[in-house]
Structure 1
């Protein structure tokens, strides 16, 4: 090919690429606008409405919202119910997260070299397929305290000579729900982390084996750095899901009742109570104030988590 031919073809190639980019730009808005409209209608506008209503007193349909300043926020922070809900939610976020990721990392180290690891992964993921309400009902039978008709946990305790425990008493239910969350959620995060581990080049582990590295050293120096970005995303998912926990606590702590005891509440249950009204009088303003607090809390935690997890990407 002569130099003159190459000079002629270069502008033609650039023109073709320019036409292709032009077509992509023309297609961008027709595809993006429907998604933006849905995002605006179902997320942005309801969020703005929630913030506005949090400064009002409103009993719902048939009532007119009346401006009430920051009264809802003051009463919320002074409420024992909110303090219990806020504390329990933070317990689920932090203690539940530590337990879940500790188990996920442990299984990641074990399953990487295990035969049948994919089958075990599928088995561990199974609790995530079950609806939270059904899972709560099952665990309610497991932890039931009823002399002469005990649940599985107390049946085992009594048969080994120990006293039956009131697992679902208001003072104990937060610990039981935390353990249940760890058990039910670990499989999901094991699956995510194992998908990231599968991308790591095998020769890195082979070199570490030749160097005599222990499993902990391989995890600390290879697995964790290579999956750090995925761990960060998983941490954000856990934070958001833990802040929204509702069904499992509601079913375990308050079977057959309007709502669980205050000591077992979460922020989601607090919103539920204020929305439907424990005395038959809804207070949507107070419910919106708690919802705004949840939005603020999840925003702060996610931003902090992303900053703590910030690290230069490792190319491999």
Structure 2
């Protein structure tokens, strides 16, 4: 073994031990719990096998939460990156783009709990949005009703998150030399053609990373849902508004005894779905690297 290889292990082993103790071991214990019925320390743990997973697949609330989370990851992601690409086209040559970019990024700084609570108050039956609609002669809308509540949550999430991805993508776009666009303008390329053939290919690597970040983050959405649907009340969010993370929280919290086995099963299923979506996202966004010669 070479000298540098022998020096490598004394630094690596402590980090591996700490990571194993704090992350790997609890994860494996969580997988074990998912096959049991257990309400927490001090309670008896009984083996259930796959019953927790089977029960989840027959639980309408969990299936609704799973569907909502998938829609948030796909539809929400499509809206976010759609607005991001439009922003890249508009902001590249716009005067004052640094200030506009800061304004777009501002919602990302605000807590999602604050955003959820504020939007929830604005859209409640006697909120400001319905009052304004009545001023203009329109009927108040049931924004927080079962058919609209999740769409409003997705809208609030898109508004608060888009600025982060605009900042990421614009940082990559700003690195593209100006003469590339000047050459494109000389041959008559429109802004859309410049974006399609120059900006997007040269920022694709950043987009691929951003897409993975969104997929991972969207499967953990929790606070904005809770704040949006329960602002000013102690009630639990309706099934139509729940995500997997919210459903897992209420399974742990429980009306009576907590069901940590089912909660752990939700966590394992979330892990599997996350891994699958990351692999799919990486495959969809995989392409040859484009570099300027």
Which of 28, 46, 55 is the equivalent residue of 2:26? 46
Residue 281 in structure 1 maps to residue 257 in structure 2: yes
- Specify the alignment match of 1:165 in structure 2: 141
Residue 247 in structure 1 maps to residue 223 in structure 2: yes
- Specify the alignment match of 1:295 in structure 2: 271
Aligned-pair Cα RMSD in Å: 1.6
Structure 1 or 2, whichever has the larger Rg, is 1
Structure 1 stretches of 5 or more lacking a match?
1-20
Which of 171, 176, 201 is the equivalent residue of 2:152? 176
Residues 168 and 252 in structure 1, CA contact (< 8 A), matched pair in contact too? no
* Cα distance per residue 1:214-266 (max 9 Å; x no partner): 11101110011111111010000111111100111111123312421112111
Which of 65, 68, 93 is the equivalent residue of 1:113? 93
Residues 143 and 153 in structure 1, CA contact (< 8 A), matched pair in contact too? yes
Pick closer, same or farther for the CA change 1:228–1:59 going to 2, 3 Å: same
What TM-score does the superposition give when structure 2 sets the normalisation length?
0.94
Structure 2 stretches of 5 or more lacking a match?
none
- Specify the alignment match of 1:186 in structure 2: 162
Residue 265 in structure 1 maps to residue 249 in structure 2: no
Residues 97 and 238 in structure 1, CA contact (< 8 A), matched pair in contact too? yes
Distance 2:239 2:65 in 1: 8
1:1-316 paired onto structure 2 within 5 Å: 25=5, 28-146=8-126, 151-255=127-231, 256-277=233-254, 279-316=255-292
Distance 2:123 2:271 in 1: 33
Distance 1:128 1:280 in 2: 37
What TM-score does the superposition give when structure 1 sets the normalisation length?
0.88
Distance 2:216 2:74 in 1: 12
Task: Count residues in correspondence.
Answer: 290
Pick closer, same or farther for the CA change 1:307–1:129 going to 2, 3 Å: same
Distance 1:184 1:224 in 2: 23
